Structure formats: C-alpha cells, structure tokens
Homo-oligomer: A and B are copies of this chain.
Amino acid sequence: MKEIDIRPASEADFDAMWPIFQEILATGDKFPFEDGSREACHAYWFGPAAKTFVAVLNGGRLLAMYKLVQNQAGRGAHVASASYMVSPAAQGVGVGKLLGRHSLEQARRDGFLAMQFNYVVSTNVGAVVLWKKLGFEVAGTLPKAYRHQKLGYVDAYVMYRLLDDPNEWRQ
C-alpha cells in the first residue's frame, strides 16, 4: 500500500529536490526564473523567509515540495503565498492536490487570512483547474505577462482565496 507523507523539508532532502527543480524549469512553461543551478534551487527552497515542505512516498522517494511565504510585509502580512513543484514522474496522481490542501491548512494554522498566487501561467491548465477546485478564484488576468518557452507571450493569472471557510478545500 502506497502512502504519501508531507513533512517539513530538511537539508537532507536537498539532493532529491534539485533534480525536480531542474526538470520543472527546463519545461519553460510554469515558472519565471530560468536558472536551475544548485545555488538558485537552494536559495529558492531554503531562503530565510520560506517554510518548506516535501511529499515523500512510503518514507522514501521525494515526489514534490512546496513553500509557504508571506506575500507582503507588515500591512499585507496576513496574506500568504505559496509555490509548488511536483516531480514530472509523479504528476497526475493527486500529489498537487495533497500539497494544495496541506498548504491551505498550514497557512490557516499559521494565522494567515488569505492565500494569493501572484503568477499562475494561464496555459498551465492543470494548476488553474486544481486551484479552482480548492476554492481559488482568478482575481486578475495579466495580459502577456509570461514568456512561455513554446507559445511565446501568454497571460498569467493572479489567484486568491480567503481562508475563512476550510470546508471549501477539505471536501
């Protein structure tokens, strides 16, 4: 029986995180930054302000990771943001949904009142559909804001949800 556990990331996870980071960036269709180096990966996942979690299969293979951050300082510090990467080899089996729910629970537990994604590539349909399922709305469309590796300039979405009704993501 397969079991997926989500737990805080540690330095020991880094060697398994880096190849996923590289694979995801190489697609050129989800994230803005293009530098897939070890240093860039480490700064991204273990930077000072990030709270990072990993999804692990049967206590072994690392499938995915996400990080939770404040989207703004001070007067905007009650809004969280998060970023997710699922290993291409583990896509399509619901890991993203597990991470999404976990991050919403975590954000709520940490006292955040809302969650905002600043930059969801509109052609990343899997992500857009998943976030809608978890109660997010497209708060705004940013015309041609993403230079997609294959499609050229495409729109990006700002997605947002308040965290006042957890039933919306728990079902």
Interfacial residues, chain A to chain B (CB-CB below 8 A): 28, 31-35, 71-79, 113-114, 116, 118-119, 138-149, 153, 156, 158, 160, 162
Contacts and interface: CB of A to CB of B under 8 A. Distances in A.
B33 A156 contact: no
B147 A31 contact: no
A103 to B, nearest CB: 18
A113 B147 CA distance: 11
Q: How many copies does the complex hold?
A: 2
Contact of A32 (B76, B138, B153): B76
Nearest to A70: B32
A141 B149 CA distance: 29
A153 B28 CA distance: 37
Given A33-B73, A33-B74, A72-B32, A141 B144 contact: no
A27 to B, nearest CB: 11
Contact of A79 (B34, B77, B141, B145): B145
